[in-house]
């Protein structure tokens, strides 16, 4: 969104963000990426798939860990 806004006149959108702030934004996005390259819906996947085997709530299958 910021890249698109940077193409508009400053009278319309205000002063542009500095390069350092853009790099910080990219670093935050990349820090949310899982080891397999995907993105979870809430937070990084911090567990193993085998954990689903001990999920006592069969009604809610595949909910113990978040799949990308």
The angle subtended at Cα 25 by Cα 19 and Cα 64, nearest 5°, is: 165
N residues, the chain: 68
Predicted pLDDT of residue 62: 61
Nearest-angstrom CA–CA distance, 64 and 52? 6
pLDDT digits (tens, 9 = 90+) for 8-54: 999 999 998 899 999 999 999 898 888 888 887 777 777 777 776 77
Predicted TM-score (pTM) of this structure: 0.56
Model pLDDT, residue 12: 93
């Amino acid at each position: 969104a910021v890249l698109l806004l940077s193409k508009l006149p400053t009278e319309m959108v205000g002063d542009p963000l500095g390069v350092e702030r853009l790099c910080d934004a990219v670093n935050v996005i990349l820090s949310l990426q899982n080891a397999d390259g995907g993105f979870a819906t809430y937070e990084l996947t911090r567990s193993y798939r085998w954990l689903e085997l001990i999920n006592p709530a069969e009604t809610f299958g595949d909910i113990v860990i978040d799949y990308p």
